[in-house]
Structure 1
Amino acid sequence: MDDRVFRVLRPVAKEAFKALHKSAFYKQMVDSGRLIDSKSIPNPGLTSVKKDDLVIEHPVIPLISYPYEWPFLMLKAAALHHIDLQIEALNAGFVLSDASAYNIQFKSNSPIFIDVTSIRPYKDGEPWLAHHQFCESFLAPLVLQARLGVSYQSWYRGNMEGIPVPEVSKLLRIRDYFSPTLLSHIVLPATLSRKEKRNLRLTAVKNASKGLPRSRYEAILQQLRHFIESLSPKGVEASTWAHYSAENTYLPHETKQKLSVVSSFCQEYRPTSIVDIGCNDGLYSACAAQNGASMVIGLDADQGALHRAYLRSCAENLPFTPLYTDLTNPSPNQGFAEVERRSLKERLGFVDAVIALAVIHHLVIGRNIPLVRAVAWIVSFGGSGLIEFVPKDDQTIEEMLALREDIFPDYTRDNFIDALKRHAKILSSEVVSESGREIFLFKAH
């Protein structure tokens, strides 16, 4: 049953789910693709199920990604998706009991809410109990990059549940204090002690019957929505590879030739899922998606390139999801007992093929990864694929070595081929630039 997803609901959660499942709100959200479908089923043989429990099944989402892998626009889309779902749930008599960013996944470029058990009937007068969690999961990291130009991914991954509001508050500038949204959702909460927050929460729960009116609850959500909608990532257009497709060292006919190699590979070998290592702005990912791949996952660490890649995916409605990944430090197994969040490599175990164009030299020369290990790592992602070798006399490598000693005597075409042959059969190769860049088509052993 590894290819199926079940949840076991205890009696309280079961009743909340039944109320949700029969509502018009549930049908509308599922039909629009904004909420994952859920069906109650007989026990499929799970030993943990008790007499009064309910078993539900969800469709499998092949790609599971985490908020610390999402570029700014994806985290923003997830935040808006959460707020919109919360507003519509509130108007239908329901509420989201928590605000974890992990409750949202992406199908291509579109967010979908996957935790139906966090949707429960609304109690008149209750406060937004997940406000603090929303601010740390969504608002704080978005503000960090939009207002201060500081990328949040590494910090988010280290803390795992988001960016602490008090820490972001310390970094804000004086002029940020004049933002009503930042003042009420970041600055003031950061000044309260843990005890004061707990007392306020307990008071709010006790006084729920005469507490926050629904109209005020929605007004808070609308204020946050308007603010988040206005945010844009600071400084991404100035990043190193943001304009790679337009400003690289390729001549136009060479780029066209590379696109032809990618399209021919996809049409001939028909991989359904592809990982594009070093996807930059998504030019070749888009080509793969347009030539038969039903899912393309792009990996890159450049914020500007990922920004343009996600915009490309949305504008062209592509089955393409770009993710933030430092190729030499990808997301590991982490969380409690190191099993709470799985490594990126493990989550990408389903892909059929890999594309690694103009990336091997960045690993070997840029990050000092041994050539044989870099090649083995790339090949391990898929059963077949394309990998580009960039010779040392290429302009890009000459620039990389201009201000450092060349300590890479093993970085040669012959050694690259030997390394590739250890793990794959080379089916063909094609020179795609005047400098001698060469793309190899391989099938893993």
Structure 2
Amino acid sequence: MTQAGYLIQHIKAGSWRAQIGESSLMDFQSTNAGQTALREDHTGQPVPIMGFDMGGEVFELDNRILRGIYPEKGALYHNVLQTCEKNDLFAAGIILTRKLNECLDLDLPYELVLEHARVPFVSYPHEWPASMLKAAAELHVRLFVELGVHGLTIKDWHPYNILFEATRPIFVDFCSIIPLAELPKEEYLTPPQVPVRFRRFWDTTSRYVWEMYRRMYIPYFLSPLLGMANQEHGKVRSRLFATTMNVANDYMSPMEVLSQRRLHRWRFAWWERVKRIALIDPSPTKRLFFHLLTREIKNLTVAPAPSGYLDYYAAKGERFAFEPSEVWTRKQLVIYNVIRDERPSTLLDIGSNTGWFSILAARMGCQVVALDIDESCANELYTKAEADELPILPLVMDISNPTPSLWPAKHMSNLPHWIVRTNTPVLLAAEQRFKCDMVLALAIVHHLTLGLGLSLDRVSQ
């Protein structure tokens, strides 16, 4: 089993970014703004959060996200934290983190306690539009390079290391960041499987980077992206869910999703050889190898083909500007007035299409989760929101069959309780993660009843 890392699951709306702005970690530690969630009394009890980690465990306490570091690991992660602070690595996309100095008044077996910024909503890789998975892959590769410059690396290579704050990917598995010298101590990577022709040429770091690449990057990042580039988004989404956090024994391979054309398969095999040659580089950062990965990701066109719903508002003559206008329809005016009067902090837009109402709500100050079953609509909304830096989290989801809770597989029950908690779900159901102050469900009832044949009782549930 690979170490899939930190997976926040008991997160409610309300991010620290809203509290502290874009300030540095030093500002966060020295101002009252970042202390609004720090309470002197600890009346609650720790709520464990699912994760797979040998270095520590994440829990929620009094509305705060904390990570307890196990004995004998405190010095290691204290040094990692200092390196991140000194070199402003949080700006590169690592979750904002600080050492907790105040006493928790709890009998907890930790050598060190860290506090993480709160991400408003949890989403999972099988729910991300294609361009979001691509952005997550780019961030992960970029962090290997950024950390390598400072003598650090990441000990696993999993999309579950990443959450999205609106359209921005954030690396949240802080305990996966370790010194380069510690990488050979990771038992699950040992011994690395090295291609015969390169055993004489690869150093230790290259061997372990390749092992992570082979076991995690290919099945969880590269193969899904290749499948999406081949317009197999539905198949990729289903397989990503089936292999969630290593609960399945079969993983997605490139041959499963590559085009059947011989040229495409030859090109993939040739590019894999080039990557292996790049790992002959003796420098610890393996910059050339990661440069090749970045180039490969950027060259993949993963956006789904346009659907009939992509021009939904234009076809109806309703693609209006977002300032109130006499040309707006009555529905648009009513929704605008309700949001203006109720002032919700968070809003869930079910059946968001390309997101006209999601964008309206975001421009009016809401943090928005936008759900749609249409791949091209969700991807288009992500592209718009990312370009305009809007607080919208667009996701692909069938509202008649939303993501359910997923529990650890039976073969995990033999693992130590500090690695996997069998009484805590691996995935939380969508209805638990996306609770918002206001919900928009516009023009979806007829799709559910007439299109899918659901009863009105089922729709209301």
Give the alignment of 1:377-416 within 5 angstroms: 377=461
**Distance in 2 (alpha carbons) for counterparts of 1:288 and 1:170:** 40
Question: 2: CA distance between counterparts of 1:220 and 1:265?
Answer: 52
Deviation for aligned residue 1:212 = 6.3
Q: Tell me, yes or no, if the aligned pair for 2:407 and 2:427 is still in contact at 8 Å.
A: yes
1:312 counterpart residue number:
384
Q: 1:104·1:112 contact (CA, 8 Å) conserved in 2?
A: yes
**Which secondary structure state, in structure 2, belongs to the residue aligned with residue 236 of structure 1?**
coil
Q: 1:140 to 1:33 in 2, by over 3 A?
A: closer
- TM-score of the superposed pair, with normalisation by structure 2: 0.69
1:175 and 2:263 correspond: yes
Residue 56 and residue 255 in structure 1: after superposition, are their counterparts in 2 closer, same or farther (change >3 A)? same
Closer, same or farther: CA 111–312 of 1 in aligned 2, 3 Å: same
Aligned to 2:49: none
Range that drifts further, 219-228 or 121-130: 121-130
In 1, Cα distance between the equivalents of 2:402 and 2:143? 31
- String of CA shifts for 1:203-238, please: whole Å, max 9, x gaps: xxxxxxx9862367222111111110111225422x
Further displaced range: 300-309 or 225-234? 225-234
- CA contact under 8 A between 2:96 and 2:116: conserved in structure 1? yes
Other-structure match for 2:402: 330
1:95-152 Cα distance to aligned partner (Å, 9 max, x none): 0001121111111110111111111111284231421212222111111111353432
Find out whether 1:126 has 2:205 as its counterpart. Answer: yes
CA contact (8 A) 2:303 2:376 kept: no
Number of corresponding residues? 350
**2:70–2:112 contact (8 Å) kept in structure 1:** yes
Once residues 345 and 60 of structure 1 are traced to their aligned partners in structure 2, the CA distance between those partners, rounded to angstroms, is 19
Equivalent-residue separation in structure 2 for 1:106 and 1:7 (angstroms)? 19
- 1:367 — aligned with what? 452
* 2:243 counterpart letter in structure 1: N
Aligned residue in 2 for 1:102:
160
2:369 equivalent among 297, 322, 339 = 297
Q: C-alpha displacement at 1:243, in angstroms?
A: 2.2
2:440 pairs, out of 355, 366, 389, with 355
Q: Distance in 2 between matches of 1:298 and 1:171?
A: 28
Cα distance between partner residues in 2 of 1:170 and 1:65? 25
Contact 1:89/1:95, CA 8 A, preserved across alignment: yes
CA distance in 1, matches of 2:268, 2:254: 16
Structure 1: tracts of 5 or more residues without a match: 190-209, 378-445
Relative to structure 1, the CA distance from residue 219 to residue 251 in structure 2 (aligned partners, 3 Å threshold; closer, same or farther) is: closer
> What is the one-letter code of the residue matched to 2:351?
G
Q: Does the 8 Å CA contact 2:359/2:390 hold for their aligned counterparts?
A: yes
Q: Structure 1: which amino acid aligns with 2:205?
A: E
- Contact persistence 1:105–1:114 (CA under 8 A): yes
Map 1:214-229 to 2 at 5 A: 214=283, 217-229=286-298
Matches of 1:3 and 1:160 in 2, distance apart? 27
CA RMSD for the aligned pairs? 2.9
Deviation at 1:158, TM superposition (A): 1.5
Q: Percent identity?
A: 27
1:184, distance to aligned residue in structure 2 (A): 1.6
SS in 2 for 1:346: helix
How far off its partner does 1:9 sit? 0.9
CA shift digits 1:295-341 (9 cap, x unpaired)? 10000111110111101111221110101111111111003156111
Partners of 2:167 and 2:382 within 8 A in 1: yes
Larger Rg, first or second structure (1 or 2): 1
Residues 215 and 178 of structure 1: is their aligned pair in 2 closer, same or farther, counting only changes over 3 Å? Answer: farther
Are the counterparts in 2 of residues 236 and 307 from structure 1 also a CA contact under 8 Å?
no
Confirm or deny that 1:241 pairs with 2:309: yes
Q: After alignment, is 270-279 or 139-148 more displaced?
A: 139-148
Q: 1:134 to 1:366 in 2, by over 3 A?
A: same
Question: Does the Cα contact within 8 Å between 2:350 and 2:439 map onto a contact in 1?
Answer: yes
**2:429 equivalent to 1:343:** yes
The separation in 1 between residues aligned to 2:432 and 2:84, in whole angstroms, is 38
Q: Does 1:259 align with 2:259?
A: no
The residue number in structure 2 matching 1:268 is 341
Match of 2:15 in 1: none
User: Residues 334 and 166 of structure 1: is their aligned pair in 2 closer, same or farther, counting only changes over 3 Å?
Assistant: closer
Distance change (3 Å), C-alpha of 1:12 and 1:138: farther
Which residue identity does 2:212 align to in structure 1?
A
Distance 1:231 1:333 in 2: 32
Match of 1:71 in 2: 129
Higher relative contact order (CA 8 A, sep 6+): 2
Residue in structure 2 matched with residue 154 of structure 1 by the alignment: 238
Q: Amino acid of the residue matched to residue 307 of structure 1? A: N
From the superposition, tell whether residues 222 and 335 of structure 1 become closer, same or farther in structure 2 (CA, over 3 Å).
farther
Given that 1:126 and 1:212 are in contact with CA atoms closer than 8 Å, whether structure 2 keeps it comes out as no
CA distance in 2, matches of 1:272, 1:245: 26
Q: CA deviation at 1:179?
A: 2.4
1:18 aligns with 2:87: no
Residue of structure 1 aligned with 2:101, choices 41, 62, 68 = 41
User: Equivalent residue of 1:245, what SS?
Assistant: helix
Structure 1's 182 and 368: CA in aligned 2 closer, same or farther, altered over 3 A?
farther
Deviations along 1:268-311, one digit per CA (max 9) or x if unpaired, are 00000000000111111000111231x10000111110111101
2:90 to 30, 35, 41: 30
C-alpha displacement of 1:20 = 1.5
TM-superposed deviation, 1:26:
5.9
Shift of 1:14: 2.0
Deviation, 1:47, is 3.6
Give distance in 1, aligned partners of 2:271 and 2:92: 35
**Structure 2 portions without partners, runs of 5+:** 1-60, 182-202, 321-325, 409-421
Change (3 A) 1:87 1:47: same
The residue that corresponds to 2:361 in the other structure is 288
Amino acid in the other structure paired with 2:264: D
AA aligned to 1:145 is M
- In the alignment, the residues of structure 2 paired with residue 56 and residue 256 of structure 1 have an alpha-carbon distance, to the nearest angstrom, of 50
Q: Distance in 1 between matches of 2:380 and 2:106?
A: 45
Q: The residue matched to 2:73 in structure 1 has which SS? A: helix
Q: CA deviation at 1:70?
A: 0.4
Retained in 1: the 8 A contact 2:131–2:303? Answer: no
C-alpha distance in 1 between matches for 2:357 and 2:449: 22
Asked whether the 8 Å contact 1:79–1:138 carries over to 2, the reply is yes
Structure with the higher helix share, 1 or 2: 1
